[in-house]
Structure 1
């Protein structure tokens, strides 16, 4: 039986968070020693810690919240592609020309390995952003979910978030913070389900792949 590949960031005290956002912490509120029966823990974290999805409400006051999203977006066939020109520093952003030679017809879930986030224990200073015009190109090929090995689809200092808004206009949902370092390019089955958070703007996920 083909084994699943974990492509999620480890959640511990060293996981990097957006500067100024809530740091991850886990602690025991009850211990087996004190309760006489069980350990029970509590988690404090941002909804955008580690590997996570963005709900449209994250950047649009009228956008859908996590529980309103179709769970089928996050489970099913996916294609992993490698952008070596990003990893080698040849281009600084991801536009149509970066993937124009890759056949994406019929690909519903596209996961891009850029290799640009070298040390995932440190929040990056700069990332190769998605250029907004890529959204229409992806929609025309059937892409509904875009995943990246980066903490955002936009420049880290952006307030307008043009890529977030462009992707939303073209009905493409966002999965960020993937770990694709050792994942060969190819076709996989993806499972990256968000938690059923009724009012949330995002959710951590346990993202896994299985080769098709």
Structure 2
């Protein structure tokens, strides 16, 4: 059968050593049941922050009155997307870092900031300048993503970029794995779980485009 699509898995692996924000809950797994002559199945219990690995933040994460992730419209998480390389952007992604790739912009923008994604916690993680998100919203962008752990600096207490997406109604994906993805246009598929009271959800984020 002819393969019609090229596919990129942009979700980092989840395991006990996956990096998390200091103080957050890492991935943990233990077995409730293992296959034996008396038991036909393996059954595991998972404990983790919903912000481990590739994830979608809900408004509830940065707004006490915000919607939980399980009640969000799925449409922003599925559809045409542009990956933009800005691997020299430090400490914040500025407009000049992405303006080379903004012609006929789709409604979803993912920015690659790492030449190679870190396997340990990065306290100096790159983030978005708030005014960049304002200008992207002005262009009709509905979802922004980044390959770092946050769209705000790790030590931010005001979360200025999160407050922009709250005010402008944007959705956000963080901790994406964009190392192998060429700059260009794709279809994004990154659906959050229907966690009705949660502030975020892991996603299995993929990009695809016709061959």
SS in 1 for 2:82: strand
TM-score calculated relative to the size of structure 2 = 0.92
SS in 1 for 2:45: strand
Partners of 1:112 and 1:147 within 8 A in 2:
yes
Change (3 A) 1:41 1:146: same
Residues 111-143 of structure 1: CA deviation (Å, up to 9, x unaligned)? 1111166422x1002122211111221012111
Aligned to 1:208: 206
Change (3 A) 1:23 1:84: closer
Aligned to 1:182: 180
Change (3 A) 1:34 1:187: same
* Match status 1:111 vs 2:115: no
* Unaligned segments of structure 1, at least 5 residues: none
* Match status 1:173 vs 2:171: yes
Partners of 1:117 and 1:127 within 8 A in 2:
no
Change (3 A) 1:18 1:84: closer
Aligned to 1:134: 132
Residues 162-207 of structure 1: CA deviation (Å, up to 9, x unaligned)? 1001122112111000000010011111111111000000000100
Alignment root-mean-square deviation, CA: 1.6
* Match status 1:14 vs 2:17: yes
- Aligned pair count? 207
* Unaligned segments of structure 2, at least 5 residues: none
Residues 47-95 of structure 1: CA deviation (Å, up to 9, x unaligned)? 1001101001001001111112111111111111101432xxxx42112
TM-score calculated relative to the size of structure 1 = 0.92
